[in-house]
Amino acid sequence: MGFIPVKSLDGASDPFEYLLMTDNEGVVIGEALVQTNGRLTKAGATGTPEFIAMRTQAAEATSTKAIPVIRVDEMREFEVPSTAQIAQTVAGSKVTLHTDGLRVTPTTTGGVFLVSATDAATPNSKVRGYFRR
């Protein structure tokens, strides 16, 4: 499911940009991405993503199809599933990204996603939050 844009605190829309993936790397809609050497790649667990993929794209030996992405900013709230329960007490703390770039973990050490709300469901919570630097 990945990161879904929910709202923007400044009321701005989500304009798409079109960028190429790294060769031999696919992407799933909602995946957190960074740009390296002019190409998109999956964001690391403790690195703040720069973009969220807005389309699924299979890996290509030579990436030639630009994918639509939205740029991450500190005003945009996202909803995302978690890998385990995110308790209400975690609201206001930053959690890390899962290695798949599509979920968050309950780990707060080195976190990059500021939790604004959680349904605290077990085993996996639905979480809302912001990428804050």
Q: What is the pLDDT of residue 129?
A: 97
Q: Is the pTM of this model over 0.85?
A: yes
Q: How far apart are CA 95 and CA 104, in angstroms?
A: 7
Burial of 9 (0-12, 13-18, 19+ CB in 10 A): exposed
Q: For 102-113, what is each residue's pLDDT tens digit?
A: 999 999 999 999
Q: For 19-73, what is each residue's pLDDT tens digit?
A: 999 999 999 999 999 999 999 999 999 989 999 999 999 999 999 999 999 999 9
Instruction: Flag whether pLDDT at 13 surpasses 90.
Output: no
3-state secondary structure of 88: helix
Q: What is the pLDDT of residue 14?
A: 81
Q: Which two tokens stand for residue 51?
A: 């973009």
Locate tokens 């912001």: which residue? 130
Contact 113, 47 (CB under 8 A): no
Contact 86, 115 (CB under 8 A): yes
